[in-house]
Structure 1
Amino acid sequence: MLVFLKERLVFLSVPKTGTTAFHTALRSRADIVVSNPPELKHSTIYRYDRFFRPIFTKLFDTDPEVMAVVREPIDWLGSWYRYRARPALRGQPVSTQGISFDDFVRAYLRGVRPEYAKVGSQSKFLTPRRNGVEVEHLFKYEHQDKILEFLQNRLGDALELQRENVSPVMPATLSREVEDLYRRKCADEFRLHASAT
């Protein structure tokens, strides 16, 4: 999470949406950088509203707007699948080595997920608490130009991003049957992505 007090902006770090590159590019520019532990770096909108926002409104007399990035849901799961197939995880319960992408997504859709398929949900990450603050600026991951334009206009600085935390290159294609099942069972993920700029 990145906080820019003067510009009244909070940039939430939705996992697997390229936010590590933005953290690196903006770390010296932000007033507050929450990078560790991961549970705080990747604070949900609910957690931000409940714990961080009161600090900003009470101590700094500001109520920042919130921005976030979401990724096309199949691509998002594909990124998790590839990331968890990296050699460093070989033999661990979270590893996806030796598992097909179809089987990974089927496991994700179960009521009780195996460790390798416990990757959260973009829609749950951005679901506000009752009467809580919502994300005002929601961008699609694939529209990097719009994200950069927004940040450069808001912060007044040119940005240069480097690719970071990149998943291994490997195929992640779903069968039509599993894709249809995913779209049906997780329609909220697709609606959220469609609502972004």
Structure 2
Amino acid sequence: MLVFWKENLVLLAIPKTGSTALEGALAPRASLVLRDPPEIKHAPCYRYKRFLKPLFKQVGDKDPELMAVVRNPIDWLGSWYRYRTRDDLIGQPNSTRDVSFDDFVLEYCKGTPAPFANVGSQARFLTINDGEIGAQHLFQYEQWHKVIAYLENRLDVTITLKEKNVSPKMDLILSPEVEAKLREKRAAEFHVWEMAYR
């Protein structure tokens, strides 16, 4: 999470949406960088609203606007799946090395998925109250040029990104039947992504 005090903007960090690359490029420009532990770096809207918003209000009478990047749910799950095939996770409960992508997504669709498919929810990250989106500025990961253009304009800075925390490359295909189940069981994930600026 990056806080830009003068510009009244907080950049939330949804995992697997390029947040580490943005942090690498913008941390020197930020007023406050929350990078450790992961529960703080990746604090969702509801946690921000409960803990950080009152602090900012108290110390500077500020109510910063929130910005986030959201990724197509299938692509987002693919990134998590690939990330968890790493050698250092072999034998761990969250390894996907011996799991097909279809089985990973089917497990993700369950109410309480096994550790290898327990990757959170972009929709839950972004929603507050009764389903309201907590971020005023929401961008699709697939429209990365708009993310950069907005930040360069808002922060009056030129951004040069370097790849960081990238998942291993591999071709993934989700079967139509599993995709249909994902869209049915996790409709909120697609709804949030579709609501993002295009």
TM over 0.5: yes
1:1-197 equivalences in 2 (<5 Å): 1-129=1-129, 134-197=134-197
Distance 2:56 2:149 in 1: 25
Counterpart residue type for residue 138 of structure 1: L
For residues 141-191 of structure 1, what are the alpha-carbon distances to aligned partners after superposition, in whole Å with 9 as ceiling and x for unaligned? 011110001001100011000111000111221000000000111111111
**Structure 2 stretches lacking a partner, 5+ long:** none
Question: Taking structure 1 as the reference length, what is the TM-score of the superposition?
Answer: 0.97
CA change 1:131–1:183 in 2 (3 A) is closer
Counterpart residue type for residue 88 of structure 2: A
CA change 1:91–1:131 in 2 (3 A) is closer
Distance 1:156 1:50 in 2: 30
The answer on whether the counterparts of 1:49 and 1:133 sit within 8 Å (CA) in structure 2 is no
Question: Taking structure 2 as the reference length, what is the TM-score of the superposition?
Answer: 0.96
Counterpart residue type for residue 87 of structure 2: P
The answer on whether the counterparts of 2:127 and 2:133 sit within 8 Å (CA) in structure 1 is no
Identity %: 52
Counterpart residue type for residue 87 of structure 1: D
RMSD after superposition: 1.4
Distance 1:74 1:47 in 2: 25
**Structure 1 stretches lacking a partner, 5+ long:** none
Distance 2:23 2:112 in 1: 33
Counterpart residue type for residue 32 of structure 1: L
For residues 32-86 of structure 1, what are the alpha-carbon distances to aligned partners after superposition, in whole Å with 9 as ceiling and x for unaligned? 0000000000000000000001111110121110000000000000000000001
Deviation at 1:98, TM superposition (A): 1.3
